[in-house]
Amino acid sequence: MNRFLALQIHYFMAVAEELHFRRASERLHVAQPAVSRAIRQLETQLGVKLLERDNRNVSLTAGGKAFYRECRKAADIMEGAEAQAIRAASGEAGHLIIGYIDFAINGPLPGRLSRFYEDFPDVGIELVRRNSHEQLEDLTSGRLDLGLLIGPVTSDKIAHHTFHQAPYVAVLPRDHPLAARRTIPLEALANEPFILGNQDAWRHFIPQLQSYCLEAGFIPRVVREAPSSDSIFGLVAARMGVTLYPDGDLNHSREDLAIRPLENSNARLSIELAWHVDNANPALTAFIEHAKLPHVMNPAPRT
């Protein structure tokens, strides 16, 4: 649509709504003769008479009514598109692809997402489960907008912000002798068989867990490996062993498991929000800033 046709349609819609040339021209802040001339030119281009007019009355012809209805639809669509574009540019609308690890989805992520949806209902979020090293690759390639992964993050192309500092807990079969205790010293697990994630998929977590155990004087004796948290919990429930899991606020309830805090432990696993420094998605900026607000900051560790 050329600029002149758009202007003619704009003038026509004003007259169609006012059914009065003087009021329409005042609304448009345009001289009345210019409005009349524009509508005559529009009728000539369309080959259709749009208005019946005399010295007293203005009314729409059948063709004018049909033309106005379609113009109104188009105007509403354009107004909606303009509003949506403004919202998208400000991060209030749009789309995010977010990668996550088990520790995030089994911990604070669901609550954070729920609060974000409340404040930004027009941002669509696609969640994709990825291990930490896969997320780093996908952030670099642009397949992910945001990752929730295990720190530390060392790439100068990946920006990051601490999302959650997760304390370790012991996960035991419900009838394990240590399950009777309210808290468990880490060294009490020294002779227990351990179930951990497999070495490749959990490569960011296992070295940190091993280092933590070494500080307590032992190397965990791994008897089973599993691909996911649910698989690990299932094997623990089957009395195949015990495990350490990073979160005192674990969103996991099973009657066949006992989850106990560790005594005198300040160890934390850092779960990081990570994104590529060149990602200009406004919805990404909105999510990151929302995650830093006081009402979604990391909760204080349990005592």
The CATH number of residue 35's host domain is: 1.10.10.10
The reported pLDDT for the residue numbered 79 is 74
Domain membership of residue 24 as a residue range: 3-89
Alpha-carbon separation of residue 116 from 110, 129, 207, 269 (angstroms): 10, 19, 33, 24
Which residues have a Cβ under 8 Å from the Cβ of 209 and sit 6 or more positions away?
Answer: 168, 196, 220, 244
The reported pLDDT for the residue numbered 90 is 59
The answer to whether residues 260 and 202 belong to one domain is: yes
What's the number of domains the chain is made of? 2
The reported pLDDT for the residue numbered 295 is 41
Maximum CA extent, the chain: 102
The answer to whether residues 205 and 82 belong to one domain is: no
Residues 288 and 161 sit within 8 Å (Cβ to Cβ)? yes
CA–CA gap between residue 168 and residue 244 (Å, rounded): 6
The reported pLDDT for the residue numbered 7 is 86
The reported pLDDT for the residue numbered 264 is 83
Residues of the chain with pLDDT under 70: 1-2, 81-92, 248-253, 293-303
Which of 89, 119, 154 is where one domain is finished? 89
Amino acid at 16: A
The reported pLDDT for the residue numbered 101 is 93
The reported pLDDT for the residue numbered 251 is 59
Q: Where do runs of H (alpha helix) occur along 29-131?
A: 32-46, 62-89, 102-105, 109-119
Alpha-carbon separation of residue 188 from 144, 170, 184, 185, 265 (angstroms): 41, 11, 7, 6, 13
For residue 290, the Cα-to-chain-centroid distance in whole angstroms is 10
The answer to whether residues 103 and 81 belong to one domain is: no
With tokens 């009657």, the residue in question is: 255
Report which of 150, 153, 152, 187 is spatially closest to residue 170, judged by C-alpha positions. 187
The answer to whether residues 119 and 232 belong to one domain is: yes
pTM of the model: 0.66
